[in-house]
Amino acid sequence: MVFKTLKFTGIHKIFMSSMFFYLLLSCNSTKLKRFEYPDPVDTQTRTISYQDKKIYTINETVFADNQFDGARLNSFTQVNDSTFQATILPENEPINQSPHFAFRIWSKQPRTVYLKLNYPTSTHRYVPKLSQDGAQWKPIDSLNFTLIDSAKNAFLKLNINAKKLWVAAQELKTSSEALNWSKQIANHKDVRFKVIGKSKLKRDLLALDIYEGDPQGRDIVVILSRQHPPEVSGYLAMQSFVEEVLKENRLQKDFRSKYRILVFPLLNPDGVDLGHWRHNAGGIDLNRDWAYYKQEEVKTIVNTIVNIASESKSKVILGLDFHSTQEDLYYSFSDDMHSDIYPFKDYWIGAIDNAIPNYIPDDQPFPLSQPISKGWFYMQFNAESLTYEIGDETPRDFIKLKAEVAAREMMKLLILR
């Protein structure tokens, strides 16, 4: 592993002295701070449009619906005898190109249909996943799936019958799944499950508080997930990461006796259940609101973290935020940003590299720019922080394996501090 040395270039100096500054509302470092970022974003609530929740009926023979949490289907029409079109639109615009879709399709008689996924404002991104029950999913056979018109449309060949076939961009992981998972995790003696507040549309905001013994004065690790609704692969990584921390081996037990781990498994429950592409019910990308906290979800979570740290006279030393993008990578701090546990990141990514043959972690450092969670941990606590990105189509068994390795290597490094 190579350690990068600290270099202040001319650009860095100008950047640090003139472009970036922050306003402390209070001199007390245990209070929530507000920040100005070099690249600010207006996160004032904006209007979203809701789907019509309904069953679409074509000639009383072919049907499609979006009447379930996480669904996204904005219209369903017939193109010709055997071809149908599902139109997919975002909650509002402008928006990141993550065109999530999820619906069910069925027919009176068994038959083969061609289904065109149409994105009037975007291009296709996710390999469709199919399910017979909404719980067990597998990617569509590549022979039954093609992209046309420069990915403006996708074509699926489906065998349908009277039993509803689920078709979705990613496995459906709704707010009720997050609640069930959290309750199951909370069966562990070291886990306390809490509802810390409500989203804009009054869905529960969940937290898991993990430690053994007295948490007073202990350093805290924070884990975040699902600011962005379709980012299920990152959410799966978060689940495996947390489950690894709760195993009953020496490393895990020692770690839970030394640190406190706060887990927020689902930051955007409204967006997830409404089948959004990116935003919350306030029409905002939550991962741009970590400076002024205008959205209820971010406000609740930052207040919870700051209050817990303040009450227990603790410091947050590490924040990990699980997301998905096209490829596996880590968005980390640039070399001029030295957290309290610097250079943890270089050791950690190096250890993950060493532990998994044929996998080279893709570290993509960048400086503070927009108000995202990664910058917040640094500015609020001088904590280390990484955005842990998983590829949309990364094999699910590899997501689990890598998350378990990442959790173990994190614990090994932090236990030795």
CB closer to Zn ion out of 231 and 244: 231
- Give whichever of 102 and 210 is closer to Zn ion, judged by the CB atom: 102
CA 352 to chain centre: 21
Least Å from the CB of residue 226 to Zn ion:
9
Comparison of 215 and 282: residue with beta carbon closer to Zn ion: 282
Cβ of residue 135: shortest distance to Zn ion, in angstroms? Answer: 24
Binding mask 309-328 for Zn ion (x = CB under 5 A): --------------x-----
- Whether 365 contacts 346, CB under 8 Å: no
- Strand-pairing partners, residue 139, are 129
Distances, alpha carbon 220 to alpha carbons 94, 215, 243, in Å: 36, 9, 17
Nearer to Zn ion, 145 or 277 (CB): 277
Applying the rule CB under 5 A, the residues between 228 and 257 that interact with Zn ion are 228, 231
Q: How far is the CB of 106 from Zn ion (least distance, A)?
A: 33
β-sheet bridge partners, residue 103? 167
Residue 278 is a binding residue for Zn ion (CB under 5 A): no
Greatest alpha-carbon pair distance for the chain in Å reads: 70
If you compute the radius of gyration of the chain from its CA atoms, what whole number of angstroms results? 22
At 67 the three-state DSSP class reads coil
As measured in angstroms, the least distance from the Cβ of 321 to Zn ion is 8
Residues numbered 321-360 forming contacts with Zn ion, rule: CB under 5 A: 323
Rounded CA-CA distance 128/139 in Å is 6
d(CA 37, CA 21): 7
Nearer to Zn ion, 158 or 298 (CB): 298
Helix, strand, or coil here: 264?
A: strand
> Least CB distance from residue 308 to Zn ion, whole Å?
24
Contact 259, 219 (CB under 8 A): yes
Nearer to Zn ion among residue 276 and residue 323 (C-beta):
323
Tell me which residues in 204-233 interact with Zn ion (CB under 5 A): 228, 231
Quick one: 90 or 215, whose CB is closer to Zn ion?
90
Smallest gap from residue 228 Cβ to Zn ion (A): 4
Q: How far is the CB of 318 from Zn ion (least distance, A)?
A: 19
User: Is the CB of 218 or the CB of 276 nearer to Zn ion?
Assistant: 276
Contacts of 340 (CB under 8 A, 6+ apart): 315, 317, 381, 382, 383, 384
Size of the site for Zn ion (CB under 5 A): 3
Closest separation between CB of residue 396 and Zn ion, Å?
18
Q: Which amino acid is at 305?
A: I
**Environment class of 299 (CB within 10 Å of its CB; exposed 0-12, middle 13-18, buried 19+):** middle
Q: Using CA atoms, how far apart are residues 394 and 129, in angstroms rounded to an integer?
A: 13
Nearer to Zn ion, 285 or 384 (CB): 285
Question: Would you call 135 exposed, middle or buried from its count of C-beta atoms within 10 A (0-12, 13-18, 19+)?
Answer: exposed
Give least dist CB 387 to Zn ion, A.
Answer: 8
Closest CA to 363 of 340, 337, 388, 394: 388
The residues of the shown chain that bind Zn ion, judged by CB under 5 A, are 228, 231, 323
